[in-house]
Amino acid sequence: MSENDRHPFLAGLSKHRGAPPTCLVIFGASGDLTARKLLPALYNLAVDNLLPADFALIGFGRKPLPDAEFRAIAAREITRFTRRPFNPDIWRRIEAATYYQAGEYDDPAAFSALASRITEIEKAAGTSLQLVSYISTPPTVFESIVENHGRSGLAARGLGTQTESKIIIEKPFGRDLASAVQLNAVIARNFRESQVFRIDHYLGKETVQDLLVLRFANPILEPLWNRRHVDHVQITVAEELGVGSRGGYYEHSGATRDMLQNHTMQLLALTAMDAPASLNAEHIRDQKVRLLESIRSLQLGKGGDAVRAQYTEGLSGGEPVTGYLAEKDISATSGTETFCALRLSIENDRWSGVPFYLRSGKRMARRVSEISIQFKQPVDGLFAADSRYDIAPNRLVIQIQPDEGSTLILNSKVPGLEPRTQPVRLSFRYAATYGSDTPEAYERLILDGIVGDRTLFIRGDETEASWRLFTPLLQSWAAAGRAGLETYPAGSWGPAAGDALLAPHGHAWRNAGR
């Protein structure tokens, strides 16, 4: 049998030499994430010839479905959500290696059946396959799935070798410190940490990966990246969308669990951590943990370090939209926050005394995720003494999305005889420099899972360090119910109390466009 006869999927699909023969199993195969992100990501990896030469996909879900029906659903969702046009020739090659396996997540027999299915596929392929399990189910079944990987022997496949089984776990990773510790313990009973890939899709975004390059490959920045030169840092992750059809999930999550505890904290960690000893995944993750552990505990209560709020009716993209309480699957007396803002202090040599402001919300004025580093103004600057000049603080704005790029704001003299200055922007835009055809976060992360690179995934102690900070806050809000919950009109930049968080230091949110 020649190389290319062994399996229908072999026909020249791999230019990624490091990707071993792989069987990817998606648990939660009929879920929203699978349709919108995972299947399109696999398809786009195939377009770029980045999938392993021997590759099989198994969708695992509770609903019984023949392979053919799952293939038809997958083709439909890929066509709908792919970032590049659907090419039937490429799809046909994936389709031939796509299967469906039905079973309950807490049923050990279903996992034995899955193991047998993988063996059958291996026989047909004439090669053994590394197992990569992608858990994209509701969190209530995470532990059962992990335990069943242990019981069925799926977790131990290839243990200690490059192709040992790998498990990719979607968020939410716990809902507080105790549940995250418990989930980590269940995982540790069944897998080695080297097999575990906790996903935070923000780490897969190009601009987020570029943070390391920006900071550590441009040595002119490092001398400025500290409390002597930085006045304060703002991180905004604002969405224009409301909760849409995800009310059932969101009602038990809220903005803090959904965005702050994970995505926004990862942006903070990469922005503020010290330089890692090397680009090795463990060195980077060590530095992120050290940073998260040096954040001072939050002051709770009125006038403290956190503000939460819920959107009321307003306008989104010029169209009237309902308030959160009128959304589908939301309790009329819900205390769930759709906006959260924090003021953080990092107690280390680099950052002591520099406020870090973080905020995230749904139904805000614009979709924008950015990190803004504002530098200090000289106390006795040459121009500061002359009231004719209006000198703006220097600022570096890293725009994570949309319109990815970064901008350095400097002062310049306005041409002419008048003594006038004006802030100007030195701007780099990904689309202008590299074109706009960049891979989606999930493409990078699935590929990294397959080749076993954990740099862009979160370690167990990292998630616990973040939950340690947030748990007392979330408990205090749960106890208070709606008391102290602010509101903001849909389509605004959040409640006034969110602005007041910055006022003691004379700061203001940099609302996009300002």
Residue 110-139 contact track with ligand BG6, rule CB under 6 A, x = bound: ------------------------------
Under rule CB under 6 A, residue 404 binds ligand BG6: no
Nearest to 105 by CA among 30, 212, 47, 44: 30
Residue of 229, 263, 505, 507 marked active site: 263
Residue 183 or 400: the one with the smaller Cβ distance to ligand BG6 is 400
Question: Residue 172: is the preceding peptide bond cis (ω within 30°)?
Answer: yes
CA distance 358 to 342: 5
User: What is the total residue count of the chain?
Assistant: 514
Distance of alpha carbon 456 from alpha carbon 371, whole angstroms: 19
Query: What's the Rg (C-alpha) of the chain?
Result: 25
Q: Return the number of the residue (19 or 364) whose C-beta is nearest ligand BG6.
A: 364
As measured in angstroms, the least distance from the Cβ of 239 to ligand BG6 is 6
- DSSP character at residue 161: S
Residue 201: active-site member: no
* DSSP letter for each residue of 197-241: EE--GGGGSHHHHHHHHHHHS-TTTGGGSSTTTEEEEEEEEE-S-
Position of minimal CB gap to ligand BG6 = 258
Site size toward ligand BG6, by CB under 6 A: 2
Contacting ligand BG6 (CB under 6 A), which of 258, 337, 443, 462? 258
Q: Which is nearer to ligand BG6, 48 or 239 (CB)?
A: 239
Q: Quick one: tokens of 169?
A: 């776990």
Tally Cβ neighbours within 10 Å of residue 494: 29
**Element spanning 498, H or E:** helix 496-500
Task: Give min distance, CB of 303 to ligand BG6, in A.
Answer: 29
- The CB-side HSE value for 314 (13 A sphere, CA atoms) comes to 21
Number of H helices, E strands in the chain: 16, 17
Does residue 50 contact residue 74 with C-beta atoms inside 8 Å? no
State the DSSP string of 59-115.
EEESS---HHHHHHHHHHHHHHH-SS---HHHHHHHHTTEEEEE--TT-HHHHHHHH
Of the candidates 401, 346, 341, the residue with the CA atom closest to the CA atom of residue 230: 346
Spatial distance between the Cα atoms of 71 and 323, rounded to a whole number of angstroms: 39
Does position 239 interact with ligand BG6 (CB under 6 A)? The reply is yes
Q: Which is nearer to ligand BG6, 130 or 207 (CB)?
A: 207
Name the β-bridge partners of 486. Answer: 309
State which residue, 91 or 142, has the beta carbon closest to ligand BG6: 142
- Whose Cβ is closer to ligand BG6: residue 239's or residue 282's? 239
The pattern of x and - marking residues 184 through 223 that bind ligand BG6 according to CB under 6 A reads ----------------------------------------
Which C-beta is closer to ligand BG6: that of 232 or that of 363?
A: 363
CA 83 from centroid of its chain's CA atoms: 19
Instruction: Compose the 50-79 pattern: x for residues touching ligand BG6 by CB under 6 A, - for all others.
Output: ------------------------------
Tell me the catalytic residues. Answer: 263
Which residues form the interface with ligand BG6 (CB under 6 A)? 239, 258
